[in-house]
Every structure is written in structure tokens, then in C-alpha cells.
Structure 1
Amino acid sequence: MSATVTSALAWWVRTKAGDTAIVLDGETLTYGELGGWSSRIAEHLRAEGVRPGDRVGLMAPNSLPWPAAALGVIKAGAVLVPLNPRFKPAELRKVLDDAGAVAVIADDPFKGAVEEASAMGAAVELVTFSAIDALRDGAPSTFDVDRGEDEPISIIFTSGSTGRSKGVVLTNRTLLSIVFEATLVEEGFHRGSSTILLLPLAFTPGLVWGLLMTTVLGGKLVIEKEIVPSRAVQLIEEHRIEAIFGVPLVYQALAAAPEFAHADLSSLKTAVVGGAAVPTALLEAYAAKDVALRQIYGMTEAGGIATATLVSEFREHPGSCGTGGIFTEVQVVRADGTPAEADEPGELVIKGPGVTPGYWNSPEVNAEVFRGGWLHSGDLGATDPEGRIRFVDRLKDLIISGGINVSPVELEQALAAIDGVVEVAVIAAPDEKFGETPAAIIQAADGLTETSVVEEASKVLADFKVPRYVVLREDPLPRLPNGKISKTEIREAYADLTTRFAKVR
């Protein structure tokens, strides 16, 4: 068998079948149980007509069947497409179309959403969690289709600045490269390491750095359905957690728990934070516990983490994102592609074995983003004289709310369809809890209200995308000479938006 995620799982099943692989709500899955369950799921999918290379969605919140179902899809030779369970049917349909999905595994409460999305276009096969649960026990199975190291095992969709979702391809080779580099640079990732996941499995941190990293390393993954700070702190102590990752609000929530002050967090060897600006006070709170909370810069296209502050420098250089990795190179370049000088802002570009081989079925986007062997991030960074990288700003207009990318164009398209909306621009507003939150600036016709905008938007957008600020105005939005709406001018005009206007939800 090739070097694959599931060949690693098979090894741990043979050598430590009784050891714990997954912990969730007090329930556990051993490696033997995870291996057998996922193989039976793979056999079931094949019986349902899923063939090697087919794309299969997985729509569910964090739960014990999720890891088994995800690995079952991969063992069937299919390509896993994690789906945000907060998607409305129209949003789900877009991703299913982009992926060309033939089936969706869904937790039972999401059956209706999948069926509605299926009815909007090409039909997809629905496999419910009831069917998945029924396969937890059964005849022993080691079913596993070996599709090779360079075949896709997952497509992770991330919002793009054009409003069209982009499917980031993950192969076995890419994933194993991410794992290998992590074991060399992060003390918290090694054979048998323990990790806690306080984020959804359906996104890059949960799938790549949680489930798949743990599966390859034969470790233990403690999964929480939602963030309960006091409980999470206790779980870190109980399971001697070595690795944790998340957005600032995760770490802020834990630090605010009464148990944090006296908790023994000495087991934490890797604690990284990204996705939004990190307050210095938060870094200091963890430093006081001798936990090196370090900033990262990364993106789904680069495996989630491209560079992180060195452990040896987290106190002296808390604002940096490190200097890259052993095999991952991060540079700051000018518009002409030449290296920027120290402290000169430029685009962050990335090269390394953990970088995706490309976007799914998107040759034009691939040609634009992957140039000269480098992944062009569209983000702005700079280096200090010693080469330490710091994130400056986004060249793209993406809003990062609670660590999740939100495309302003997608929101603008949805809001523009509302009666009474003449034109609209969506910008990011600062938010204490989520880092950023969408704000809609609308030229409105008579009769349109903030309430009606929220009500109509909620029918087609997941709640985290629905604007928390809605500003209605009579005047047209400012435009550039080429006729495009001037986002720069709008941001300047509404720089104090959060003090002038109240949240609408």
C-alpha cells in the first residue's frame, strides 16, 4: 500500500488496537473500533454506488460518527468534501455543484437541507447518520481502496474574493508532508501525541490538524462539540493535552474560565493562534502560565499553518509569525515579484510540500494564484531586519469572523436581491468577540428597514454571514473612475461605524 493516511491508520489498528483514538463527551473510539467502523462505512458507500474519485460531502457538527465517516469516505477511494453544517440549502447547492458531488453523508437533523439542496440541481445520494451509526458494530473489515499518494483525498472549500467558493485539493502526499514538517518543528506533534479540538471538524484546523494529523501519528484527539471554557481547561489537565490551536476568541474564553488561574497547563507544548488580530494581553496571560501561545500565518492553501512564531522568541517577539518552516518558505515580494526590503510591505508568497497542488477544476484561478512555483496569498506582510514575518493586512476583501472566511461579494450578491436594496457594499467591522463581523452599507429605496434586510438575508445566508451592522443611506455609494464601488472610500467614511451605529442583531 502507498504512503497514505489510511495505511497509517491500518498500522495503528494492527499495533495498538486497544488504544484510544477519539474522545468526545466521555465516549471513546479505540483504533480498532475506528478502523473497523470506517472500513464498514467504506463498504457501504461502495454498495450505494460511490466509486473511486467520486466526491462525497459530509455535513454534521462535531460528533463521534464524523471521524469514522470522514475516514470511511477516504477508504472508499472517494474524495471527502467537508460541509459547514450551518449552510442554508442554496449555499450547500453551490458547493455541491463546484465539487461535482454524488453523495452527502449528513447527520439526521440536516436531512431536509440536503434534500432541498439536491432538488435544486443534479440529485445527490443521501446517507444519513442513522445508517452510519448502524455500521459501528459489525463483521470485522479492513476494506481500503489504495488510490495513490497524489490522488485527492479531500477538497476543502474556502470563500474567494470573487464570491465563488474555491476547492482546495488535499492529497495524501500533501497531508503527510504537513505531518512530517509538524513533527520536526512542533514539540506537541509526535507519535502518540494528544490534541484537543475546540473548533469544527469541517474546517482545515479540525480536519487537517485535528483528525488527519492524529490518525497519521497514532495519537489521541479530544473533540468538543462546542466551547465550554471550564470543561475545556479541565480536559487539558485530565488528558495531558500537548497540542491546541484556535482563533483568539477560543483562547480568550479559556483564559476567562475560573479554572484557568490554577490549572496545570504544563503538558501544552504546541499552542498556536491565528485567524484574527491577537491582543498582546492574551499572549501575556498564557505566558504567565508558561504556555508559549504563538501567532501563526497560514491559509487553507498552505495546509493551514505556513509559519509560526518560534517558541524561543514568543516572549521577545510576540507580534511575529516566525520565519517559515524547515521545508516551507515564506517571502514578502513586491508587485513585480522581487523580494521586498525589511519593513517594506509586500505580498506574502509561500512555497513548500504542504502547499496544495491547486484548486479543484479551476485552471484559470490556479494560473493566477500559483506562479513561478509560489502560492501568491493575496495578503500583505513585512519582515524585520532578522527576517521575522509579520502580517500587515489583507489585499483581498475577505472578512475573517471567528476564524471563518466570509466573502463580501457573496453577501453583496445575496443582499442585492432584496427588494429595496439599490446597491450595497459589505465591509468588515471590528468585533470584540469574533475579530471581525460583516457590515452592510446600503443605498436604500423607501420602505427598506434594517430589520427587513436581516430577515431576508437570514433566509439565504448562514447566521455568521448575516450582517450585524446595516447602514441605510439615500445617496449612491462612492465609485472609482472605472465605475466600480470604492471600498477604500467606504471604509474611510465608516471607520467609526461601530460607535455611530448600533448592531442590528
Structure 2
Amino acid sequence: MAATIGSALRWWADTKGDQRALIVEDEALTYRELQDWSSRVARRIADAGIAPGERVGVLGPNSLVWPVLALGVLKAGAVLVPLNPRLKPAELRKVLDDSGAVLTIAPVEFAGQIERTLELGQPFEARFFEEFAVLRAGGRDDFRIDTERDDPVALLFTSGSTGLSKGVVCTNRTLLDIVFEATLTEEGLRPGSTALLLLPLVFTPGVVWGLVMAVVLGNTLVIEKELRPERAVALIGEHQVNTLFGVPLVFEAIARTPAFAETDVSSLRTAIVGGAAVSPALLETWADKGVALRQIYGMTEAGGVATATVRAEAFTHPGTCGSGSIFTELKVIRPDGSDAEPGEEGEIVLRGPGVTPGYWNDPQSTAQALRDGWLHSGDLGTRDESGRVKFVDRMKDLIITGGINISPVEIERVIGELDGVDEVAVIAAADERFGETPAAIVTAGGGLDAAAVVAHCDRLVADYKVPRYVVIRSEPLPRLPNGKLSKTAIRDEYRDVTTRFEKVR
């Protein structure tokens, strides 16, 4: 089938091969260079015996070779599994087991982490970036194994309220439909634009709204290895960046730089912000520079962005996130499935072309999330008389820190393994920088302190999951009549945890 990300890359390489496709730390790849290099990568993956449909993990921080490898996996007909480099071996093992990955590609400095991951379970083949980096040199190459419209091409893993990782299936159809819908309105993305990516490539904003969007539309994607606010401001001016997306802390950090006041950032036609509450002050700061920050509501299962405020309402309706899109519909429903009245709280459900067909090898979770043609978000919201959606709270027990989902259950399980821990509840604590951060409330006997909890978590989970607040108590945690911990009562008791207790890290 021709309608794939690989076929789009081939077209732009043939029609405007000299245009810059990727710029990473000031090193650029043209579309012709990206096409040839990723084709050689695809050929190497296929020659290694990776069959179409088999899963391939790509592990590592933002770099020039990461997107080349990702495109090479797709062009080999395999299924891309982006792997967060901040995960510890046990966490990586879970994702690799869930996906059934047969090959993992990582920078050589991750060799120790790969070895420890291999020791924890079934074998998989491991190769390193350096083997594929040397393939940059060579002649013209258009190697590609085509996949079908509804074939899975990527699995994006997201935390669920159960603490179990779930692989969100992306097909050729869903990814290309997301791009198509994003271009249809006057405020939409446009071919020939330049986007700046300050977030990790491994998450939905990086894979879908960064790499896929750029390659399909023939755009230029400027990728930074990390957020450096002063440099970000300079890049917006230097490259006349048209698109920037991120969590509020990204826009706040940029706005705080002295260079922000002096730099013309009006080239930004599309500035998308989400993942945490956006303050009116932040909206006003960017509006004063001629940029309307458009708030979004979305989830990985819906391609990352399900709705965004229209530019004209970005400042006049700061608490809302739009009313859907041309093909994506949202509504708010009661527990019995009937539509909620305007202003009445209910669950946000949605349907549209970017919605996943399901979770990888998880029919139970798929059936729970996709019901009667609608994706059930597990989030509470309201709609006003004009249909604008306002996010209220999560029905699912998740913590969102810097736009990344964290399952409290996962951290509770890790802390529960410590000797002396009787019971534990992990809740969200407000954080000025990240929006939310984990707080662990632990009932334990004598001898256990916060430092031991932090050290234990630090060995087993990614750093952003390690609690920044740890409360050790001797009395039992409140429970419901059915014997389960009462998260509502615990949150209420520790709603002021950030002022009553010191940060432990």
C-alpha cells in the first residue's frame, strides 16, 4: 500500500530533496539524506531477520540517529516501540514483554542497562546506534517494505490506573488521519512549516506531532536534546518556527528568559499547550507577544490531541479546550450513558479518526475503553452551551507530571516491597514546575525513613516517578467499607502535603 509514512518520505525526497527535514543540535539532514539513510537502516533491519509486523524497540534520548532509526523500523515493515531512556531495567522489561519486542536498538552507553534488562526475562536481540550511524554514508536508496492501511506500525505505551503498561496501537490509517485532520482548518498545520520539538521523541508529542507530522507534510523539524529556554528563544527567531507544542512549564521557562522580551516570536502560528492547568498570566504573557496559546485536551489513545481551543477564544475562554475538531467529536455523559446537561459534570468520551483501534494484546482493556463506538477517557469534564469542553478532574487515579502519566499503583507496588511497610498510598501533590508530583503516604513500623523509601524507588523506577514527598505514619490509612484504601479520604487529609512536609528530593 502506498499510503504510509515511508511513501510520504520518498515523495518529499524526490520532489524537494534539498530541503532540510531534521535539524538536531544544529546538524541538519535533507529529505534526500533522510530517505537514503533510513532506507539503509530498514534494509539492515530486514536483513537481520526481522519480519514485517515484528516489534522493534528504539531506546535513547533525542539525537539525530533516533528519528532515522524510527523511520527505518517503519520502512522495514516492523512495528516501532519507542522506549523511554529514563526507565529502569524492570520497567523496560515490562514494556518489552508486553510488546513482544524481538530487537532493541540503543546507544552503546546503554549496554549495561540492556544487559540488566535481559537478565530479568526472555532473550531479545540487542543492537546499538553506532551500527546504524555508519549507514549515513552511501548512495541513493529507496528500500521500503509496504504495510497495509490497518496494520499496526507503532505501539505507544502509556500508564493506566491499574499500574499495568498498555501499548496503544497506531496504524497507518490512524496516523495519517491525524495528520489529515490537523491540516483542515485555517488554524491547522501547513506543508512547508517549521516545528520546534523541546520534548522527548519517545512520547506521543514527539512521535506523532513531531516526527510523523513533519515527514508526512514535508516540514522541517528542529529537535533539541533538552529544554534550554534561552536557546529555544533563539531557535524560534533563527528558524522562524511556526509550530511549538509542550506542557505549561515549557512555555513558562521560555517566557522567563530575558531574550523572550527582545525576540520576535510572531512566526508561531500554532502554539499548543496541555498536560496541566494553564494560568491566565501565561496566556497573557504570550498574547502580548502576538502568540495565542491554544489549550488542548487529549490522550495517547486519541493521537495526543482530541480538541484545542480556536485561536480567537484562546484568551477569552481560558478554562476550556475547544469543542472537538472537524471529524473528532466529544461529549460529556452520565454514568448511565445519557448526555450530561451544560455545566453538569460527567465523563468525557470521544470518537474520531485518530482514536486507537485498541491496546496491544489486551482485549479486556480495549473493551473497557472502547464502548459503543466511543473512547471512554476516564476523565471528568463539563460542556458549556456552545459545546466547549472543560476538564475538571480525572476519574482514573493518575498523576501527570510535566505531561507524563504516572500510575500511583505502580509506585505503591514498589514501595510495598520494602521491609517494614504495612500499607502505602501514592497521591498527587501540587508542583509549581511540573504541575503534579508523587507523594507517598506510608504506614510503617519503626526504622523506616523517607530516605530509605526514596533510595528503594530510585533503584527500581524512573526518576520522575520517585516521590518528592514521603510521609511516614504509624496509624493505618483510612479505608472504605469494602476494605480498600480510601484515596478520597487520603487526598483530603494530605491536601496540604506541600506546606506541611518538606520535599525529600
Q: TM-score, normalised by structure 2?
A: 0.99
Instruction: Indicate the residue corresponding to 1:314 in structure 2.
Output: 314
Give runs of aligned pairs for residues 171-190 of structure 1, distance below 5 A. Answer: 171-185=171-185, 187=187, 189-190=189-190
Cα distance per residue 1:185-219 (max 9 Å; x no partner): 36351111110000000000010000000000000
Give runs of aligned pairs for residues 117-196 of structure 1, distance below 5 A. Answer: 117-185=117-185, 187=187, 189-196=189-196
Give runs of aligned pairs for residues 348-387 of structure 1, distance below 5 A. Answer: 348-387=348-387
Question: Within 2, Cα distance between the matches of 1:143 and 1:186?
Answer: 36
Cα distance per residue 1:14-67 (max 9 Å; x no partner): 111111000011100000111011111111111222110000001010000011
Question: Within 1, Cα distance between the matches of 2:97 and 2:375?
Answer: 25
Note the aligned Cα RMSD (angstroms). Answer: 0.8
Question: Within 2, Cα distance between the matches of 1:56 and 1:419?
Answer: 37
Q: Describe the SS at the equivalent of 1:29.
A: strand
Question: Within 1, Cα distance between the matches of 2:427 and 2:344?
Answer: 26
Give 2:108's aligned amino acid: D
Q: Describe the SS at the equivalent of 2:41.
A: helix
Instruction: Indicate the residue corresponding to 1:400 in structure 2.
Output: 400
Q: Describe the SS at the equivalent of 1:145.
A: coil
Instruction: Indicate the residue corresponding to 1:302 in structure 2.
Output: 302
Question: Within 1, Cα distance between the matches of 2:421 and 2:291?
Answer: 49
Instruction: Indicate the residue corresponding to 1:21 in structure 2.
Output: 21
Cα distance per residue 1:286-311 (max 9 Å; x no partner): 11111010110000000000001111
Give 2:485's aligned amino acid: I
Give 1:164's aligned amino acid: L
Question: Within 2, Cα distance between the matches of 1:259 and 1:188?
Answer: 28
Instruction: Indicate the residue corresponding to 1:69 in structure 2.
Output: 69
Instruction: Indicate the residue corresponding to 2:343 in structure 1.
Output: 343
The answer to whether the Cα contact below 8 Å between 1:188 and 1:243 also exists between their aligned partners in 2 is no
Q: Describe the SS at the equivalent of 2:475.
A: coil
Q: Describe the SS at the equivalent of 2:9.
A: helix
Aligned sequence identity (%): 61
The answer to whether the Cα contact below 8 Å between 1:188 and 1:268 also exists between their aligned partners in 2 is no
Q: CA deviation at 1:225?
A: 0.5
1:430 aligns with 2:411: no
| Structure 2: stretches of 5+ with no match in the other structure | none
Give 2:287's aligned amino acid: A
The answer to whether the Cα contact below 8 Å between 1:380 and 1:392 also exists between their aligned partners in 2 is yes
Deviating more after overlay: 185-194 vs 320-329: 185-194
The answer to whether the Cα contact below 8 Å between 1:149 and 1:172 also exists between their aligned partners in 2 is yes
Deviating more after overlay: 298-307 vs 310-319: 310-319
Question: Within 2, Cα distance between the matches of 1:19 and 1:370?
Answer: 41
Instruction: Indicate the residue corresponding to 1:103 in structure 2.
Output: 103
Give runs of aligned pairs for residues 196-345 of structure 1, distance below 5 A. Answer: 196-345=196-345
The answer to whether the Cα contact below 8 Å between 1:188 and 1:242 also exists between their aligned partners in 2 is no
Instruction: Indicate the residue corresponding to 1:503 in structure 2.
Output: 503
Q: Describe the SS at the equivalent of 1:135.
A: helix
Q: CA deviation at 1:116?
A: 1.4
Q: Describe the SS at the equivalent of 1:343.
A: coil
Instruction: Indicate the residue corresponding to 1:390 in structure 2.
Output: 390
Runs of 4+ in 1 over 2 A off after TM superposition: 185-188
The answer to whether the Cα contact below 8 Å between 2:416 and 2:422 also exists between their aligned partners in 1 is yes
| Structure 1: stretches of 5+ with no match in the other structure | none
Q: Describe the SS at the equivalent of 1:185.
A: coil
Q: CA distance change for structure 1 residues 43 and 75 in 2, over 3 Å: closer, same or farther?
A: same
Q: CA deviation at 1:108?
A: 1.5
Q: Describe the SS at the equivalent of 1:91.
A: helix
Aligned length: 505
The answer to whether the Cα contact below 8 Å between 1:186 and 1:270 also exists between their aligned partners in 2 is no
Question: Within 2, Cα distance between the matches of 1:111 and 1:16?
Answer: 38
Q: CA deviation at 1:138?
A: 2.0
1:58 aligns with 2:46: no
The answer to whether the Cα contact below 8 Å between 1:167 and 1:359 also exists between their aligned partners in 2 is yes
Cα distance per residue 1:320-363 (max 9 Å; x no partner): 10110000001101111111000000000010011111111110
Question: Within 2, Cα distance between the matches of 1:492 and 1:459?
Answer: 30
Question: Within 2, Cα distance between the matches of 1:378 and 1:265?
Answer: 37
Q: Describe the SS at the equivalent of 1:63.
A: coil
Give 2:446's aligned amino acid: D
Q: Describe the SS at the equivalent of 1:430.
A: strand
The answer to whether the Cα contact below 8 Å between 1:163 and 1:409 also exists between their aligned partners in 2 is yes
Instruction: Indicate the residue corresponding to 2:463 in structure 1.
Output: 463
Q: CA deviation at 1:110?
A: 1.2
Cα distance per residue 1:409-452 (max 9 Å; x no partner): 00000010011211100000000010000000000111001111
Give 1:51's aligned amino acid: A
Q: CA deviation at 1:454?
A: 0.6
Q: CA deviation at 1:100?
A: 0.4
Deviating more after overlay: 464-473 vs 38-47: 38-47
Q: Describe the SS at the equivalent of 1:324.
A: coil
1:440 aligns with 2:440: yes
Question: Within 2, Cα distance between the matches of 1:37 and 1:386?
Answer: 49
Give 1:173's aligned amino acid: R
The answer to whether the Cα contact below 8 Å between 1:55 and 1:99 also exists between their aligned partners in 2 is yes
The answer to whether the Cα contact below 8 Å between 2:187 and 2:311 also exists between their aligned partners in 1 is no
Give 1:179's aligned amino acid: V
Q: CA deviation at 1:134?
A: 1.1
Question: Within 2, Cα distance between the matches of 1:96 and 1:365?
Answer: 18
Give 1:10's aligned amino acid: R
